[in-house]
Each structure stands twice: as C-alpha cells, then as structure tokens.
Amino acid sequence: MNRSFSRHAPPQPQYRVNGRIRAREVRVIGVDGQQAGIFDLATAIKMAIQHGVDLVEIAPNAVPPVCRLVDFGKFKYETAKKERESKKHQHANLVKEIQLTPRIDPHDQKIKLEHAIGFLCEDMKVKLNLRFKGREMAHTEIGFQVVNRFLTEVGPWGHPDNPPKLTGRTINVMVSPQPKNKRAKNPKGDEKPASATPGVAPVAPVAPVADSKSPAKAGGPKESARVSTDAASSGGAAVNNPFANLSLEGTPPEEGPSPTA
C-alpha cells in the first residue's frame, strides 16, 4: 500500500537579516543603540555595510519594522545567553502541592514539613490544601489550627502570600520562599558524617599483636610475663628466683630433690 510521504518543512529563521527583510521602510537602531531614524531598506543595508555589520529585523510587527545594526553572530550569542539565564529561574514558577488533614498524625506532619522545606529551599512555591471530610466541617477551627501551626514551623523558609482561606471544604494557602539572604539553611543539607560528630571521641588505633611463632620474638616478653605470673601465684617465693627472667623454651625441667634424700 502506498502512503503519502510528508516532508517536514525546515525551521524558519527567527530573525530576518539584510536582503531577507521584506519591508520597504524600516526604523533603524544604530550601532551605539540609539535610533537613527526611518530609512528605506536599501539605504539601511548600505548603512550596515559601511559599519561592517548586519541589518537584523528585531520587531517585525512594528510599523515600520524595527531593525538593528549589529553583528548577527554576536546578536545570536547574546540572545541565547539571555534565554539560558531566564531558564535558570524558571523553577521559581513551579508550584508544589501538599495535602493536610485535620487529624493528621504528628509523624506524617513532620514528613510533609520536610518536603515543604526542601521545595522552598529550591525556590519553589508550596500550596497547602487541607480538606474536610463528612462531619469534620462542623469543626473547621481545628483545620485552621493545623494550617497555622504548619505555617509557623515553615516560617524560617517561607511566608504565606495571603492568610488561609476556606473555599468549600478546603483550606488553601500559598507559601512563597523567603529571600536567600533571610532564608534558613536546609536541615538535610547540614548533616555531617558520624566520624565528624562533635562530642564523640575518636577510636584509638589497635596496636599490632606480636607473633609468638616468629623465631626472633619467641620466648620474649610474653614468656617472661608468664613466668613472673606463675611466680607471683606461688606466694612470693619467686622474688629471689634467678630463673624468673629466663626463657622457658629449650630449658630442661627443673629436677626436684630425690625422694630418698
């Protein structure tokens, strides 16, 4: 089956330059940024050639269209730079919504508070919604207490645009972030590793244990300490023992007195 092939048209240039301008007369802005007056298109192009720049149409819907004498490459770079700068602050227009209830658990409220603080620290707005269900509408003052307590706790990071308002069954309030020079720091961003926690003493390094099987250290202080311990357990009789400081390795056992002596 044959299908018609649709070719997408190439994107049109955003600005018309030099000979692509269709107007007969244009208002020209000079190289210094000041208005030079209204000229016919041929005269405006000659002015651009004399200054070594391009004639760029920046306001095609004006009567007559406004054109500027500027290097087109430099003009595109400055325009792209302005767009990047504007995108950096785009997230300030984002709105995050947080739902509350009149009977919210303290732990759940703490979690939602942490989320709100994180959004405000990222320069986002937070919309608080508290919805009543059933007979909860008979005690709307409880809902206002929950919202006001939430606004008080989030105060170091954001401020309400307007007082909380009851609309139908929902209390709504918009919270905007505080200025950066007045805003408190994000608590999650101030956490420190356990090793750097103040008040905790560092663990002392463990000294290496001597290898008793090494020939250079065999029968060293470890064996001497065992001899002195055994001598001490014998009631102090080893104080004058001349063999107390000798190694036991390779020493024949001491012979006691003959039973016939």
Cβ count within 10 A of residue 119: 23
Q: Residue 181 corresponds to which tokens in the numbers above?
A: 């020079």
Q: Residue 140 corresponds to which tokens in the numbers above?
A: 């709307």
CA distances from 35 to 18, 32, 46, 62, 67 (A): 18, 9, 16, 14, 10
CA distances from 67 to 52, 64, 70, 130 (A): 15, 9, 9, 54
CA distances from 172 to 9, 47, 63, 129, 155 (A): 47, 59, 47, 5, 17
Walking along the chain (261 residues) 10 residues at a time, the average pLDDT comes out as: 52 74 87 86 88 88 87 87 73 80 92 92 91 91 94 92 92 92 80 44 52 48 46 47 49 52 40
Query: All domains of the chain, ordered by start, with CATH?
Result: 18-87 (3.10.20.80), 92-187 (3.30.110.10)
